[in-house]
Structure formats: C-alpha cells, structure tokens
Amino acid sequence: MEHAEILHRCFRCGYCKLPGSYQDLNCPSYLQYRFETYSPGGRMWLLRAWLDEEIPTSARLQEILFSCTACGNCVEHCVFPKFKADVLNAITAGRGELVNEGSVPRRVSDFFKAIHLYGNPYKLPEADRGAWAKGLGLEPYRGQEYLFFAGCAGSYDERGRKMARAVAGLLQDRGVSFGILGALERCDGNEVRAMGEAGLFEEIARHNIAKFLDAGVVKIITLSPHAYHAIRNYYPRFNGIFQVLHYSQVLARMMSKGKDQGADTPLTVTFHDPCYLGRHNQDYLTPRMVLAALPGVELAEMDRARVDALCCGGGGGNFFTDLLGSGPDSSSRVRVREAAATGAQVLAVACPKCAKMLEDAVKAEALESALRVMDLAELVQARSV
C-alpha cells in the first residue's frame, strides 16, 4: 500500500482531532462517532493492523475508513513535520486497498457504479446535465474565455442547481465570457479519487481532459471547490493542464475595483471555508475579499475559521454515501450552531456540497428563522441593485 511506511510513525497524540485553538473536536468522523478508531490516528493504526492481518476486513473497518471526509484537518494540525503531508494520503491509499479487494460499503460501491454507468452519482441521464441552465440563455462552450464547470451537484442537486444558476447568472451579468458543456460535461472525479478508486478517477480525468482539449478549453471556472481541486492538482498528472479558477476567485476580481454597488442595509455574515478551497488549496482570502466588497456586509468570523474550519461533513464522498450519519454531533449541525452563535444572519458558503449540508443542518437545528445559508454568488446578487 502506498504510504504504508508512515502508518507506524503516527504516535496517536491526537493533535489531528483538534483545531489550532484546541477548542473542540474538529475531525468530523471522530466528532460524530467518538471511538478512537474513527480518528485519523486510529485509522493509521487500524490500517497497519489490517495490513499485518491482525484485524480482519470487516464491514466496520470499511465504514471507519470511508466515514473520513478528507477535510484535511489532520494534515493541517499533525505535529509531525516529516510525514504530516501524507496522513490523509495514507487513509486514501487504505481506501484504495479496500477498493482493490472489492471490500467497500454498499453505498460506496453504489456510488462508483453510478459514476461508472451514468457519469454522475445521481444515476440521472447525462442528457439532463445541462438542464440546470434552462432559461438563462447560457451559451455552449465554443472558444469563449472560460468554460464554466457546474459539476454533478451543480447539475443535479436542487440546492446545487440554484447555486449554479446564481453563479452563472452573475458571471453573465458582469460580462464574463464563458460557455458550458451541458450534456457533454461529466463528473470531475474528485470524490472518486478521495474514495480511493484511482483507476476510475484516471478514466474520468482522461475523459474530461480529452473533452476539454477537443473543445479548446484553456481556462475553467468551477462551481465546486472539489472540482477546482481535482482539475488544478490532479488533472496535470494526466497532462491536463488548465488555468482553473474557483468561481469566488472570479467574483473577487470583478469586485476588486472597490465596494460593489448595491444595497447597503447592515447584514452580518459569517463565512464557512470549504475544505477544498481552504485547507487543500490555502485560499482563505478570496471569499473574504468578495464579502468585504459588499456594502453593509459585516463579517463575523466563527471561532473555527480558515485552517481551523470545521468541515460540513460532505467531503470524501460522504455527501453521497452519508457514512458519517446524522444527529446532533454531525459536523454540519455542530457547524451551524457555531455559525448561529456568531449572531450572523447569513451563513455564506462557496461550495454546493456545503450549501446543501448546512442548509439541511439549519433545518434540523430549527435555526431557519435566525440563519440563512447563502452562497457567495447568491449573496452578491441579493445585494446588487
């Protein structure tokens, strides 16, 4: 197994479970399950025991490994400088071993199957992929400056579609030259990769790269930080080299010429850093620049922000497989309680998975009257004249 040589080097000191302030548990699966086995160090030791055949390949082991949301908190806070960068990679590699053995939870194999057969985890026809854009008058991609990549959640999920429409509408309003692939688009593969299905990921990546190159794509704007991460950091391994931007980075450029025009009634907003924009790609500033450019908007940070942000729980495939499960200790619910505690009226997000996870959590926590989940583009639109 790749990275097997670092498994025994984990001391299980537990810094990986916490944010930099140590204030509370910051590993979503450990927060939810509380058994040491569900912490990053627990997974490292279990993987070693499994490779050494000290424990069997069980359904529980599979659940333990696949409930990791790949949020990167462990990598950020591990105190071992010589191998911290590979802590999550080792867990991903462990998932890969289980995938190779064919020993994965049903929901995980269903997910892979759906991607394989339908090109999306929703098992919906690829032909419907562009339906989210209906009525917006968006152009198909034919050499415009940017390709706008909506991704699976942006194409099929109700919340994601709303967000995709907001982003595309805003880009349109601001005169950004872009097109979409519509039915020709396919899953970006980031979750497949994070779930250890390296072969399927390569297939997806190569497919997308070929499609992008055929269409003459040079620059890509993604709706999802997950797609941004995969295209930016993994597609180059298959010779897919594109200039990729997360949509917030485009918004920030549009707004950089001073305060945006629009409503200036006071509004307190808190921002939830998406893991794949923040910890995985170290962009904490851009979304805050967008918020800072909105008149009347005041940013109230949560205690856990930037490198310390608590994941919404939707990463690492859990958005689809839900191996993390629900309940008051699920990280999405903990997160919206933390957001509400700032006194903010709006919980701003920059990822369709976060939007959906946190919106559901707001309902579960009965916080609808106090806290509204809005994506950055929706917020910019709402504040524009």
Partner 1 sequence: MEEIYRELVKIVGERFVSNQPEERFLYSRDPGTMEPHAPDWVVMPNTTEEVQKIVRLANRQKIPLVPMGGGLVLSGLSRPLQGGMVLDMKRMNRILEVNEASSYVVVEAGASQGMLQAYLKKHHPRLKHSIPDAPPIATIGGNVLIHGSGHLSAAGGFHSEMLNGLEVVLPTGEVARIGSCSASPYWFSRSPLPDLAGLFLGWHGTTGVVTKLAIKLFPARPWNDVGIFVIEDPELAPDIIRRLARVQVAEDILAWMSPKPDWAKGFQMINIAYGAETKAELTLKRDLIRESVRPYLERKVGGFMPLPPDMKVRFLEAPQSTLAVFADVNKGGGFEYVGAIMPVELFAPAFRKGLEIAESRKVPYSLGARIVGLAHCMMFFYAYAFNRADQADVRRAQTALEDTNAMVLEMGGIPWKAETPAQKQIIKKMDPNTFALMNRLRAVLDPQGIMNPGNWEA
Q: Which residues bind partner 1 (CB under 8 A)?
A: 8-15, 17-18, 21-24, 33-37, 42, 45-46, 49, 54-56, 58, 60-61, 64, 79-83, 303
Q: How far is the CB of 72 from partner 1 (least distance, A)?
A: 18
Instruction: State in angstroms the smallest separation of the CB of 154 from partner 1.
Output: 34
- Nearest alpha carbon to residue 150 among 356, 352, 11: 352
Instruction: Show Cβ contacts of residue 158 under 8 Å, excluding neighbours closer than 6 positions.
Output: none
CB closer to partner 1 out of 33 and 132: 33
For residue 149, list its beta bridge partners. Answer: 222
> Judged by CB, which is closer to partner 1: 14, or 169?
14
Nearer to partner 1, 81 or 102 (CB): 81
**Token pair of 317, please?**
């495939």
Cβ distance to partner 1 smaller for residue 49 or 131: 49
Cβ partners under 8 Å of residue 234, min gap 6: 189, 190, 193, 201, 205
Min separation Cβ 194 and partner 1, Å: 21
Q: How far is the CB of 304 from partner 1 (least distance, A)?
A: 10
Tell me the closest approach of the beta carbon of residue 42 to partner 1, in angstroms: 6
In angstroms, what is the minimal distance from the CB of 262 to partner 1?
A: 34
1 CB neighbour count, 10 Å cutoff: 15
Q: In 195-309, where does DSSP find H-type helix?
A: 198-215, 225-229, 247-255, 285-292
Place of tokens 């993604």: 222
Residue 270's SS3 state is strand
β-strand pairing of 219-222 with 243-246:
parallel
Closest CB to partner 1 among residues 64, 176:
64
Which of 157, 158, 156, 169 shows the shortest CA–CA distance to 127? 156
By beta-carbon proximity to partner 1, the closer residue of 105 and 151 is 105
